[in-house]
Amino acid sequence: MSNNILVGKTIKKIFLADDRKAIKFVLDNNDSIIARCDGDCCSHTWIEDLINPENAIDSEVLSADDIDLPEEFQNKTKTDNYEEEMLYYGFAIVTNKGKFTIAYRNSSNGYYGGNLSWPDNEYYYGGVHGQNISKENWVEVIE
């Protein structure tokens, strides 16, 4: 069973940072939960795609978990963050409307990885060299 901080909450709005290094969920009580991209040492992590965000709007979160990103979402990157090696990650938020997938990536020389850091994570938040600290200039994700 999922124990992510979003479970049991109702999402009203979703915002993506314009640098793609953070995502904000505004809840029905106007509280916010921010997940930030984090990268090990000499790597960069960012959100590449938001797949079916409409499934999360105005719905209670039933589960929220890391997933293996389906191969069809592991295509050529849209950003210029590419280095020697690319890792593909997924995070699925399931509601009664369906699944919303956050596809995120990490590029490095092959020795490092990344993750989405949630407020209740043990390693919330950093970026060893500050390379993944978002400016958090929010853009609303429209259904």
Q: Are 124 and 4 in contact (CB under 8 A)?
A: no
Q: Is residue 52 part of a domain?
A: yes
How far is 121 from 2, CA to CA, in rounded Å?
14
Q: Is residue 115 part of a domain?
A: yes
Q: Is residue 142 part of a domain?
A: no
Q: What is the pLDDT of residue 80?
A: 64
Q: Which residues contact 65 (CB under 8 A, 6 or more apart)?
A: 2, 4, 91, 92
Q: Is residue 89 part of a domain?
A: yes
Q: What is the pLDDT of residue 60?
A: 97
Q: Which domain, by its residues, includes 31?
A: 10-128
Q: What is the pLDDT of residue 54?
A: 97
Q: Is residue 39 part of a domain?
A: yes
Provide Rg for the chain, Cα atoms: 14
**Number of domains present in the structure of the chain:** 1
Q: Is residue 4 part of a domain?
A: no
Q: Is residue 117 part of a domain?
A: yes
Q: What is the pLDDT of residue 72?
A: 83
How far is 19 from 58, CA to CA, in rounded Å?
25
Q: Is residue 96 part of a domain?
A: yes
In tens digits, the chain (143 residues) has pLDDT values of 578 999 999 999 999 999 999 999 999 999 999 999 988 777 889 999 999 999 999 999 999 999 998 888 887 666 666 667 889 999 999 999 999 999 999 988 777 888 898 987 765 555 566 667 889 999 999 86
Q: What is the pLDDT of residue 126?
A: 56
